[in-house]
Amino acid sequence: MEQKIPVVILGATGSVGQRMVQLLDSHPWFEVTSLTGSDRSIGQPYGEACHWVLTAPMPTWAREMIVRPTDPGSAPGQVAFSALPVDLARELEPAYARAGAAVCSNASAFREAPDVPILLPEVNAEHAAIIERQRRERGWSGCIVTNSNCTSAGLTVALKALQEAFGLRRGVVVSLQAISGAGYPGVASLDIVDNVIPNIKGEEPKVEAEPTKILGAYRDGAIVPAEVVLSAHTNRVAVSEGHLVCASLEFDRAPSVEQAARVLADYQGPAAARDLPSAPRPPIVVRTEWDRPQPRLDRETGGGQTTVVGRLRPDPLFHLKFVVLSHNTIRGAAGGSLYNAELLVRLGYAGGLP
């Protein structure tokens, strides 16, 4: 690519915004030209406005960048990565889409809209086509696509591989989620040291609903949700990064453990999503040890973009049970938005193929 695509990060000072800044450092296609923040931080250098919580140091180019208000006039971008809180996202993401930006959002504001896809490129790249309808009906020159919820991300990648091969019917999924999923300051330490919080506000409905949309078929300009019933329990545990999900699943055709392992390990995903810069290589890794995946040891697999599955075994009640791990602030958040943006560029929805 001769010239990089100028991009803006909306809500760049929070923990997801920080991950976007970090992952966009030296990105082969994108160059961050604007960072936006709340009233409290507008006008300040990003290095001062932001309480950086990542291990990797803040990129030098970001330190001096002045935080701007979140509007397409003062902070434009061909792609707008949104780490906005849900209420602001509802109002400001359409403004960017109207102004022509391809909005890749981490917020849940539009996930339920029938003309907005929840994109996991290695699962449902073809859902991006609904952007045509979105533009037509809403009169936008840009568009909005969303990430899934951070817990749904890795889980749905694993479900997709199995659904394709064996027909997925239903299951129970129980999460053990990292504290970084709640942002910063997020979870109070007194609530999590020597403790588990056995619920996460608003999370279970998302984990039950989003996979059915993502696993759905794109037909005649509409996304038809998959007929899959999930029951979710969500828990917060004292882990910094990496969401673990225990899944018990029933299929149309019962797979053996070996068949399931092969299908997962061989999963490639849609051709359009394969060789993008942020594509997980491979999409799924299958571990065979008795005690893996573990958040601390396995979350960085494939740079945090790969879904890790382990403990595949028969389920005495359904057909198959296993554990799935996904990096919640990379694949489940900022890395997911990047991957979505790359897909939109590839498909011509972000103003020019590189």
Q: Which residues are tagged catalytic?
A: 150, 243
Cβ(195)–Cβ(237) below 8 Å: no
Residue 174 exposure: Cα atoms within 13 Å on the Cβ side: 6
55 binds its own copies (CB under 8 A): yes
How far apart are alpha carbons 65 and 81 in whole angstroms? 16
CB 292, min distance to its own copies, A = 7
Q: Which of residues 24-43 bind its own copies (CB under 8 A)?
A: none
How far apart are alpha carbons 10 and 17 in whole angstroms? 7
Among candidate residues 346, 348, 337, 315, the one with its CA nearest the CA of residue 83: 337
Q: Which of residues 175-234 bind its own copies (CB under 8 A)?
A: 176, 179-180, 184-199, 201, 208, 229-231, 233
Question: Six-digit token pair at 212?
Answer: 């059915």
Residue 301 exposure: Cα atoms within 13 Å on the Cβ side: 25
* Number of residues that this document lists for the chain: 354
Binding mask 272-311 toward its own copies (x if CB under 8 A, else -) reads ------------------xxxxxxxx--x---------xx
CB 219, min distance to its own copies, A = 25
Q: Which of residues 164-183 bind its own copies (CB under 8 A)?
A: 170-172, 174, 176, 179-180
Please classify residue 351 by burial: count the beta carbons closer than 10 Å to its beta carbon, then call 0-12 exposed, 13-18 middle and 19+ buried: middle
Q: Is the peptide bond before 185 cis (omega within 30 degrees of 0)?
A: yes
Q: Which of residues 322-341 bind its own copies (CB under 8 A)?
A: 323
Size of site (CB under 8 A) for its own copies: 58
Compare residues 27 and 233 and give the one whose CB is closer to its own copies.
Answer: 233
Compare residues 11 and 295 and give the one whose CB is closer to its own copies.
Answer: 295
How far apart are alpha carbons 154 and 333 in whole angstroms? 11
Compare residues 121 and 181 and give the one whose CB is closer to its own copies.
Answer: 181
Which residues of the chain form contacts with its own copies (CB under 8 A)?
15, 53-55, 170-172, 174, 176, 179-180, 184-199, 201, 208, 229-231, 233, 235, 237-240, 244, 246, 248, 290-297, 300, 310-311, 315-318, 321, 323
